[in-house]
Amino acid sequence: MNDTVKNGIRKEKDGLTSVYYDGYWVKCYTPPVDTLTAKKDLIQSLTRRLFNHMEHGINIPGKMLDEVSDAYEAETDHRKKRVKGAMLAGALFNRAADIFTSLVELEAKGVEIKPSNDLMRTCGKCLEKALEYGKMVKHRNGDEGIDELWGEPFKAFIMPVEEFYESRYVKIAMTMKNIDQVATFMSDCIKKDCRFAGLESLILNYALTAKNKCETLRTDDNVLDVWSDFVVAGEAIIDFAPDTDVAVTNTSQIHELDIRYLLKQGCRLMAFITRARTPMPVSTQNYFNECKRYSEKRKLQSL
166, part of any domain: no
Domain end position, chosen among 97, 123, 158: 158
Do 203 and 142 belong to one domain?
no
- For 86, the domain range is 36-158
Residue 298's pLDDT is: 59
Do 83 and 43 belong to one domain?
yes
Do 142 and 251 belong to one domain?
no
Quote the CA–CA distance of 221 and 217 in Å, as a whole number: 9
6, part of any domain: no
180, part of any domain: yes
Residue 236's pLDDT is: 96
Residue 303's pLDDT is: 45
3-state SS class at 24: strand
- Of 163, 161, 202, 166, nearest to 43 by C-alpha is 161
Cβ count within 10 A of residue 157: 21
CB half-sphere exposure, 47, CA atoms < 13 A: 29
Number of domains in the chain: 2
pLDDT digits (tens, 9 = 90+) for 201-249: 999 999 999 999 999 988 888 999 999 999 999 999 999 988 776 655 5
Do 198 and 272 belong to one domain?
yes
Which residues of the chain register pLDDT less than 70? Answer: 1-3, 142-148, 245-254, 297-303
Quote the CA–CA distance of 73 and 86 in Å, as a whole number: 13
Q: Terminal CA-to-CA distance of the chain, rounded, Å?
A: 42
Do 279 and 201 belong to one domain?
yes
The rounded mean pLDDT for the chain is: 87
Residue 293's pLDDT is: 82
Do 132 and 110 belong to one domain?
yes
- Of 206, 269, 197, 194, nearest to 234 by C-alpha is 206
CA dihedral 130, 135, 137, 139 (to 10 degrees): 120
Domain end position, chosen among 158, 182, 197: 158
Do 177 and 283 belong to one domain?
yes
Do 246 and 137 belong to one domain?
no
